[in-house]
Chains A and B, each alone.
Chain A
Amino acid sequence: MRLLIVEDDREAADYLKKALREAGHMAEVANDGDTGLAIALDESFDVLVVDRMLPKRDGLSLVSDLRSRGNETPILILSALGQVDDRVTGLRAGGDDYLAKPYAFSELLARVEVLARRRAPNSADTVYRVGDLELDRLSHQVTRGGEEIVLQPREFRLLEYLMRHAGQVVTRTMLLENVWDYHFDPQTNVIDVHVSRLRSKIDKGFAKPLLQTVRGAGYMIRDGAR
């Protein structure tokens, strides 16, 4: 995956670049808004990571400028302003996701990977499959090995989100944001409890666990044998 990091703090940018390379991705760095816009228009990237406060041209204007020129590259906005209304203005300007500083790198990586794959066509599928687990988005039926599993509505949405991003790490905040539509800090391990409930329904009694905990990052659903 090829990324462009637009960030004026050189240390933060270098750290990101290095960490992304270790995760197997290529990253370019631009240190101000004008350069960032020029490079983003000139070359092709899978995801842009744009800091909100930049010299010369601020991040929001960069994002809305790119969008007005028809550039649809997924954008993750980074900001030290993490409050609800800041998030709303960031997403309105054309950003696809918003991450407040300071963040855990695992969180950023998970979000960037989800963004890069957002354009993949599988989001239009009506049936998600992971191993012998099947989720039908239309009939709301979940089966594993042909046997039906009964889920609560929220558990269904949780599984649906995990399966849409099968093979990708999904963090707890991503789950809270996308499954519950909350952007706050739940303080307790609420998400963990919900996930372990779901796990007991879909993995219990089966030899091969599908829903895995990724230490220090979040969760991932995948067919382990693959």
Chain B
Amino acid sequence: MTALGKLLRTTAFKIIAVYLIVFALFAMAVIGYLARHTQALVVSQITETIDAEIKNLQEVHADGGIGRLIDVIAARAQQPGSNLYLVTSFNGAVLASNVTDIDNVTLSRQGWSEISYRRTDEAADSLHDSRALVRVAFIGGFRVLVGRDIEERERLREILATPARWSLAVIVLLGIAGGVFVTRRVMKRIDNMTATSEQIMRGDFGGRLAVTGSGDEFDRLANSLNAMLGRIENLMGGLKHVSDNIAHDLKTPLTRLRNRAEEALRKNQTEKELRRALESTIEESDNLIRTFDALLMISRAEAGEVRKTMIDFDAAEIARDVAELYEPVAEEGGLKLGIDAPDALPVRGSRELVSQALANLIDNAIKHGGTTAGSKVTVAARKSGDRIQFTIGDRGPGIPEADRLRVLERFVRLEESRSRPGAGLGLSLALAVAKLHGGDLRLEDNSPGLKVTLAIPAQPVQTKGT
């Protein structure tokens, strides 16, 4: 595509072309309107003059009869630059005139007409094509024609037409030049954007679109594209982080699995021992599957795919339900589970994911909060401003402030021994679920213990601009 072709195809150029056409039409309309009115003025001046002349001639005829009338007309006809005159008897004989070649139709009736004529002093083959506005009046049985050349009117048309053409040409030229200028400027910025995006597409996710700081629509576009790129970069980073972690953290159980299978094969084992080895292999692979499922669920929540299946549900009911599900477990561990979710809290979201997140948090609280007998785990769901807050508190050892961000990452577990079951994904999932719903997850000191707050908006999340 040539540079010109490219220019002609741009939206900016098309818009300018449309404006140009509209503006030119408007200018032409104004000039046309002016021309018509000026011409009308000229014509009305001519008719007024002729009317006055005829009136004057009627008075002359009344005063001095036909002889006097013919004398006056003949005299007036001789004057340089005079009007056009013609007097004939009723049967058509010319009595006095300075014009010839007047057709009989014009003369046969009284009134106005526009005709072509020739002055008597001009050669018969003169190419001079003159037109005149004439009025015929019958005065005392004679036909009197008084007229005036309308060359003036034509000349006026010329006078107006020439500058009109020129100004139109100037408008078009200026318009095109302006269009090219503006389009090139716009195109330059768009080309820059295109170049940057192509560079980003090639894999440089750190690249950002230039923002000029003028706050115009391109800056706004660049800003929102940059925000989008930031999000993509985060997701990509998360993905890389996850793959690294998966590789690292899944190798351990896989190795264990392999070792057990190998050991079962190696020694001379009794059937009972073989059976036990197989059972523990299955158990180990079930744990792996569980970990994979949790990872998948986190990445799906992070990618926002679940939004399609979001429904309206009561957050308080979910809190009560999940707490009730875990209540016997807490009791077995010597803990009391207190539930405080009295009011209905309508919310729109993924019921499954929110309940899974709550289950993870309550499960954590029961696992880690059970140091002293009779200590309590509290589950609360309340509305706070425009948000719904699930609060799960325990009386366990808590999490040191320095570690509170770190534990949200995948596979991070604080106990070095890793003696308790779990893969370190529970809080990561809760965080991903909170973010999916446009909320957040906070870890705080419950003095003593840990207080986890999962907050999600009470109203459905609305996209900006709708």
Taking Cβ atoms with an 8 Å cutoff, the residues of A that contact B are 82-85, 88, 100, 102, 104, 154, 180, 182-190, 193-194, 197, 216
Contact = CB atoms under 8 A, between A and B. Distances in A.
Given A180-B321, A187-B360, A187-B363, A84 B329 contact: no
B306 A84 contact: yes
A194 B300 contact: no
A184 B328 contact: no
B422 interface: yes
A82 to B, nearest CB: 6
B326 A190 contact: yes
Given A82-B296, A83-B297, A102-B285, 4 more contacts: A84-B350, A188-B363, A188-B421, A193-B332
Determine the main DSSP class of B at the interface with A: helix
Given A185-B290, A186-B359, A84 B352 contact: yes
10 contacts: A82-B293, A85-B305, A85-B309, A100-B293, A180-B325, A182-B352, A188-B366, A188-B367, A188-B421, A194-B328
Contacts of B422: 187
Interface in B318-361: 321, 324-326, 328-329, 332, 350, 352-353, 355-356, 359-360
Contact of A197 (B282, B328, B356, B366): B328
Nearest to B360: A187
B329 A184 contact: no
Contacts of B286: 104
A199 B369 CA distance: 27
Nearest to B307: A85
Contacts of A216: 279
A89 B271 CA distance: 44
Contacts of B360: 187
B294 interface: yes
A193 B321 CA distance: 15
B308 interface: yes
Contacts of B300: 83
Given A102-B289, A180-B321, A187-B422, A84 B309 contact: yes
Given A84-B350, A193-B332, A186 B325 contact: yes
A184 B355 contact: yes
A193 B328 contact: yes
A84 B367 CA distance: 26
A60 B356 CA distance: 27
A180 B355 CA distance: 11
B359 A184 contact: yes
A189 B330 CA distance: 11
Given A84-B353, A85-B306, A154-B324, A185 B329 contact: no
A186 B421 CA distance: 12
A185 B321 contact: no
A193 B309 contact: no
Contacts of B290: 185, 187
A102 B360 CA distance: 22
B293 A190 contact: no
Contact of A183 (B294, B325, B352, B366): B352
Contacts of A190: 325-326, 328-329
A10 to B, nearest CB: 22
B328 A185 contact: no
B329 A189 contact: yes
Contacts of A100: 293
Nearest to B297: A83
A100 B290 CA distance: 12
Nearest to A186: B359
Question: Closest 7 CB pairs between A and B?
Answer: A184-B356, A193-B328, A84-B352, A85-B309, A193-B329, A187-B363, A190-B329
Given A82-B293, A188-B329, A190-B326, A182 B350 contact: no
Contacts of A194: 325, 328
Nearest to B285: A102
A74 to B, nearest CB: 24
Nearest to A184: B356
Given A83-B297, A190-B326, A193-B328, A182 B289 contact: no
A180 B356 CA distance: 13
Contacts of A88: 309
Contacts of A102: 285, 289
Nearest to A102: B289
B325 A185 contact: no
B354 to A, nearest CB: 10
A184 B297 CA distance: 10
Interface in B68-89: none
Contacts of B367: 188
